[in-house]
Structure 1
Amino acid sequence: MNNETKILQDSHGRNHTYLRISLTERCNLRCTYCMPEAGIPLSPKSHLMTYEEVFDIAKIFVKHGVTKIRLTGGEPLVRKDFSVILEKLALLPVELSITSNAVIIDRFIDVLKTNDVKNINVSLDSLNRDKFTHITRRNQFDKVYNNILLLIKKGFHVKLNAVLMKGFNDDEIINFINFTKDLPISVRFIEFMPFDGNKWDMSKMVSYADIMKYVNDSFLENNVIKLQDAPNDTSKNYKIKDYKGSFAIISSVTNPFCDSCNRLRLTANGQLKNCLFSSTESDLLTTLRGGKPIEQVIKKAVFAKLKVRGGMDTLNKLQKPHLHSKNRSMITIGG
C-alpha cells in the first residue's frame, strides 16, 4: 500500500485498523455519565445513516485497512434494523463485536452467533441493584445480570465496562474483581472522562493509582498477576491467581494510551471523530449522499489527529470546561 492509499495513517505514524460505528443515539437506559440529565436533542431520522450507508462507509474503511468493527450506540440493539446491519457487515473480512447494556441482548443470541460475533462488552457500573437503578435511572438490574450470565453460558467472550466515580461505586472495586473468581469474564475499570453534560470534575475520578491501591490492600502481592497487554490495547490487564477471569484498567485520563491508538469513531449521523476527546468532526454522510468519494475526507480527518486526547495533553487542560464541553455527550459519540 503506497502513501497515496494510506488514508488511515495520521501525522504521528499511527495506523487505524479499528472502527467503532454508532448505530443510534437512542438508549433504553439513562446513565448519568453518558446522557445529560435533561436528555439530548436527537438527530432527525433523515440525518442518520441507513443500513445501506453504514455498509457502504464500512466497506471503504475495510478496503483501506480496517480489520475490526465494533457496533455501539446509544444502545445498538434498539435499532430496528440491527440484525440487517450485522448481517451486511458480516460479509466483510473483518472481526465484528458489539458494546451493549445487555437489557435486551437475550433476543439477539442467535443472530450474534450466526454472524460470528464472539466478543461482547457490557456496560455495568454497579453490582448493587439500588445503585444500578440510581445511575441508569431504570430498574433493569436483574435483566442485565441474568443476561450477562446467559452470554457466558452461550460461549461469548464477555467484558464488563464499569465507569468508576468516587463516593459512588469505588467501594465496589473488590466486589467486581471477586466477580471474576468463578466466571471467565473480564471486568474493566474505566476512569470517569469529561463529556458534554456529564458534570465531570477531577474530584469524581478514581485513578489507575487509586484502583491499584484498593487491589494491593486486598490481595497478597504475589497473587496479583500482570497479564500481557495486546498490541494497541487500551487497558492494563491483571488477574488474581486461580481466578477464572481477569480485570483491567482503562486510564484514559491519568495514563493515556494515545501513542498506540488505532481507533476511529463513526457517529450515527455519519460524522467521523478521529479521537474520543476531539471536539472536531468530519462529515462523511453528506459527502456520500452527494455522490462524491469520501476517501479524501477520511484522509484529511485522520491525518489531523492530535497526538494526545484531542489536544488535552495535560491534566490541567482536562480541568478547563471550555476545552471539553465543545465535545458531544457520550451517548451521541458511541461507547
Structure 2
Amino acid sequence: MLTDSFGRKHTYLRISLTEKCNLRCTYCMPANGIPLSPREHLMSADEIHTIAKEFVRFGVNKIRLTGGEPMVRKDFPLILEKLASLPVELGITTNGVLAERFIPLLKDNGVKTITISIDSLHKDKFEKITRRNEFEKVWNTIQLFQKEGFKVKLNIVLIKNFNEDEIIDFINLTKDRNLVVRFIEFMPFDGNQWDMDKLVTQQEILDKVNYNFPLQLKRLDDAPNDTSRNYKIAGYIGSFAIISSVTNPFCDTCNRIRITADGKLKNCLFSGKEFSLLKPLRAGQPILPVIQSALEHKFATRGGMDTPEKLENPELHSKNRSMTSIGG
C-alpha cells in the first residue's frame, strides 16, 4: 500500500508537531520568522494518533516526532503517550532546550534514541546561527541524556566559512563518548539564502578526516534505508556519519514520508507539492487514497531537482516551505 512508482516501500513516518521553535536557526527559519498557521488548521493530538494508526496499518514501523521544536507543544506528553501505544519505534528530533524536563516521560514511553541539533561547539557561533543564547543548556542536555542511557545522535548542518573548521572537534567527541555525530549538507529551503558556495560536501568532509586521521578512518555498515554513510575513527568509542542529500543523495532507497503540523503529506523533503490529510479526515473520508496519490507522485530524486541547475534555481526553493514549517 505504501510503495511508490519506483518500488520504494515507505516504513518510516516523520510527523511535525508544530511550526513554532524556541530557536531561530538561520538555515531553518527566515530572519523575519514565518506566518504561523492558525491553531484550528493544525492537527490535534487525536488527529495525529488517527493518522499515524492508518500509516502503521499499512506498514510503517518507525515514527519520528519533529518540529519546529516538538517539545514546545503543550500537549506533547499526550501525543507521545498516544503514539507509544502503537507497535512502532519512536524517536524525537529536538534542539535540546526543553528536553531535560521530559526524560521520565520519554523513558516511560519507550523512547531510546534522541537526536539533538547542535551546529557549533563554540558559544558565540552557536548564538550566531541560532539567534539565541542557549549553548550551555543544550550541551548539558546532551551529556545528561547520555548519562540517562539514551542513544544520542548529534545533527550538525555544515555551512562553508562558518563551522566546517569544527568537523574534527565534533569527531573527537566520539573518542570517549558513545555518540553518533552526523554532518548534514546544507539544503535549499525558502528563505534560508542557500547557494552552492555555502555547501560543505561529503568529499570535503572525508578529505579533512583522512588528513587529520591518516589510515584510521573505518567505513561502517549502513542500516537498510539509511540516509547516512557511517564511519568511525579506529579506537574511538562513538561514530560519525554524513548525510549528503545534495551531492550524493540516498533517494534510491528512501523509505521516508512526512506530515507537516497542519496535516499536509510531503513525499520528499525537497518537494514543494503537498497533499492534505486533514481535510478528508475532518470530512469523514478515507485518507488512504491521498497517501497513495502522494506516493504515486514522488520523484526519483530530490523532489524533481535532479540536476545542479535545478538545485541552484532559487525559484524552485521558494516553491517549498521553510524548514521549520516542514518539520526536520
Place the TM-score, normalised by the shorter chain, in its bin.
over 0.9
The amino acid of 1:84's aligned partner reads: L
* One-letter amino acid of the structure 1 residue matched with residue 270 of structure 2: F
What's the Cα RMSD here?
0.5
Q: Find the counterpart in structure 2 of residue 141 from structure 1.
A: 135
Identify the match of residue 101 of structure 1 among 86, 95, 104. Answer: 95
1:316 Cα deviation after fit: 1.9
> Is it true that 1:297 corresponds to 2:290 in the alignment?
yes
> What SS class does the counterpart of residue 86 from structure 2 fall into?
coil
1:268 corresponds to which of 238, 254, 261: 261
Note if contact 1:253-1:315 (Cα within 8 Å) is conserved in structure 2.
no
Matched, 1:308 2:308: no
Unaligned runs of 5+ in 1: 1-5
Distance in 1 between residues matched to 2:28 and 2:223, nearest whole Å:
27
Counterpart among 205, 224, 228 of residue 211 in structure 1: 205
Residues in 1 aligned to 2:271 and 2:178: alpha-carbon distance in whole angstroms: 35
In the other structure, the counterpart of 1:35 is: 29
State the Cα distance separating 1:259 from its structure 2 match: 0.2
CA distance in 2, matches of 1:289, 1:302: 21
Structure 2 equivalent of residue 167 of structure 1: 161
Matches within 5 A, 1:1-335: 6=1, 8-221=2-215, 223-335=216-328
CA drift of 1:317 comes to: 1.1
CA distance in 1, matches of 2:278, 2:130: 31
TM-superposed deviation, 1:242: 1.0
| Inter-partner Cα distance in structure 2 for 1:28 and 1:57 | 27
Indicate the SS of the match to 1:122: strand
Letter in 2 for 1:20: R
Aligned residue for 2:249, secondary structure, equals coil
Output the CA distance in 2 between the equivalents of 1:228 and 1:28.
Answer: 36
Question: In 2, are the aligned partners of 1:67 and 1:95 still within 8 Å (CA)?
Answer: yes
In the superposition, the TM-score normalised over structure 1's length comes to 0.97
> Deviation of residue 322 (structure 1)?
1.2
User: Matched residues in 2 for 1:251 and 1:315: separation?
Assistant: 14
| 1:3 alignment partner in structure 2 | none
Q: Secondary structure at the match of 1:172?
A: helix
Letter in 1 for 2:43: M
What's the secondary structure of 1:21's corresponding residue? Answer: strand
Contact kept, 8 Å, 1:97 with 1:119, in 2: the verdict is: yes
Deviations 1:23-52 (A, max 9, x none): 000000000000000100000000000000
Letter of the structure 2 residue corresponding to residue 244 of structure 1: I
Alpha-carbon displacement from aligned partner over 1:68-100 (angstroms, at most 9, x marks no partner) = 000000000000000000000011001000000
Aligned residues: 328
Three-state SS of the structure 1 residue aligned to 2:153 is strand
TM-score by length of 2: 0.99
Q: CA deviation at 1:324?
A: 1.9
State the alpha-carbon separation in 1 of the partners of residues 123 and 236 from structure 2: 24
Per mean C-alpha deviation after superposition, the further-off stretch among 317-326 and 184-193 is: 317-326
Gaps of 5+ in 2: none
